[in-house]
Amino acid sequence: MAGFDKVVSSYEEAMAGLEDGMTVISGGFGLCGIAENLISEIKRKGTKELTFVSNNCGVDDFGLGVLLPDRQIKKIVASYVGENAEFERQMMSGELEVELTPQGTLAEKMRAGGAGIPAFFTATGYGTPVAEGKEEREINGRMYILEPAITGDFAIVKAWKADRYGNLVFRKTARNFNPMAATAGKITVVEVEEIVEPGELDPDQIHTPGIYVNRVILGTFEKRIEQRTIRTVSS
Amino acid sequence: MALSREQLAQRVAQELQDGYYVNLGIGIPTLVANYIPEGIEVMLQSENGLLGMGQFPTEEEIDADLINAGKQTVTMATGASVFDSAESFAMIRGGHVDLTVLGAFEVDCNGNIASYMIPGKLIKGMGGAMDLVAGADNIIVTMTHASKHGVSKLLSNCALPLTGKGCIKKVLTDLAFIEIKGGKFHLLERAPGVSIDEIIKLTEGELVIPEHVPEMSF
């Protein structure tokens, strides 16, 4: 790599430096827009005691779920975790620590973390189990709770296209948490479907500027669909 | 007769207004999209980052990169936009969504709602529900009035962990349309053929019955 060229050619290089006990922020909503092959690389490396910050934890054999059988995840911060039998087993037995976090708060924690905002007040979760142990404050007659920001040692991100400088474009709802995750990692690794030369992406159309991105790798994706729902043409 | 799932959706759809941005939760709320009154334009918001959700795709249109908050494959309506999750919840928290429809396990007469967790049994997480109930002013909760064993879900105090505190003002059950104000349930409408006595029997929280309670019409 030279200058602003962020492209790496192997998954080993993409995830180099990931160590036991680190925090990884992951983009994706369900199985949509997840860094499939970066997750596979973490499984191959066998890194353990990881804390993941991710909206969901995949399914039994895909997404972050593949890291469960070898007990690589110590803790997960997520909003919805209901699609995974092994996950449920580890959560119920106490092997896996789960911090349930409202989806909008989770997105904002990542955004704040990447933007240098240490914490923020939100009405979301006030008066619920989410508020336990958190500072509460009345502002303009309404009650809010103080939510700390999140940053990670690594962020794993899936984008549609990148240029060599790490400028990113996402596609449709595969964007989801990825742009915030990209800002919140000390080392942000992005897996993409296409890499182009600098200048080929329209600067007006870039969703995530390359300043947030450390490594870019070209991947091939299964893009598994969780709920394949169709309409018949006649209706 | 208690309302069917489709009738619940139909009754909610009567609350839609032209030009509304609407977030529909998973389950019965999703069905509301099938009953949008003619001549009314609404834009459906899906909290995973889509405003202008269209119908389900045909086999040829399926796109793994285009799903709704229930993780179902969808399409985009004309004039749709896509955005990230922080932006999506800025819309929700910032009060820009005109109507939110979601399900619940319990509500109480102080406007509290429990919808995401049954300790020891069902621990899947709140997803976007806590943000939705905290951010929206106009919320309709759709639910069954009581369990199949006849245990009321309209309570004086929610027993399950709360999704939101003091944020629910309207509840549509299979038996009744109810408003919450001043720490009490107020009966607005009853399902066709359902007696007021039956509603009273299945409502644990304090229920105010006006002199005239119209039947819902479809």
**Facing A82 at nearest CB: one of B64, B85, B125:** B125
Q: Where are the alpha helices (DSSP H) in A46-176?
A: 85-93, 103-115
Which residues of B are known catalytic residues?
Answer: 47
ipTM of the complex: 0.96
Kindly provide the b/e burial profile for residues A21-46, where b requires at least 16 CB atoms within 10 angstroms of the residue's own CB.
ebbbbbbbbbbbbbbbbbbebbbebe
**Facing A30 at nearest CB: one of B55, B56, B71:** B71
User: Which residue does chain A place closest to B57, by CA atoms?
Assistant: A230
What is the per-residue pLDDT for B162? 97
CA-to-CA dists, residue B26 to B18, B69, B101, angstroms: 23, 8, 9
What is the per-residue pLDDT for A224? 97
Work out the percent of chain A whose per-residue pLDDT is above 90. Answer: 93
Q: Say what angle helices A103-115 and B85-93 make with each other, to 10 degrees.
A: 120
How many residues comprise chain A?
A: 235
What is the per-residue pLDDT for B171? 98
- Is A22's pLDDT higher than 90? yes
- Note whether A108 contacts B89, CB cutoff 8 Å: yes
Work out the percent of chain A whose per-residue pLDDT is above 70. Answer: 98
What is the per-residue pLDDT for B105? 96
Shortest alpha-carbon distance between residue B20 and chain A (Å): 21
What is the per-residue pLDDT for A235? 47
- Is B4's pLDDT higher than 90? yes
Question: Which pLDDT tens digit goes with each residue over B133-191?
Answer: 999 889 999 999 999 999 999 999 999 999 999 999 999 999 999 999 999 999 999 99
Give Cβ neighbours of residue B82 (< 8 Å, ≥ 6 apart): A172, A173, A175, B49, B50, B51, B76
Give Cβ neighbours of residue A187 (< 8 Å, ≥ 6 apart): A17, A153, A154, A155, A214, A215
DSSP symbol at B72: B
A206 Cβ under 8 Å from any chain B Cβ: no
Give which of B113, B116, B131 to mutate to test A binding, by max A Cβ within 10 Å: B131
Average pLDDT, chain A: 96
CA-to-CA dists, residue A53 to A26, A65, B202, angstroms: 6, 13, 42
A122 Cβ under 8 Å from any chain B Cβ: yes
Shortest alpha-carbon distance between residue A189 and chain B (Å): 18
For A27-150, strand residue ranges (E) read 50-53, 73-78, 97-100, 119-122, 136-139, 142-148
Question: Which pLDDT tens digit goes with each residue over B67-121?
Answer: 999 999 999 999 999 999 999 999 999 999 999 999 999 999 999 999 999 988 8
CA-to-CA dists, residue A151 to A42, A51, A105, A119, A121, angstroms: 19, 11, 14, 11, 17
Shortest alpha-carbon distance between residue A4 and chain B (Å): 25
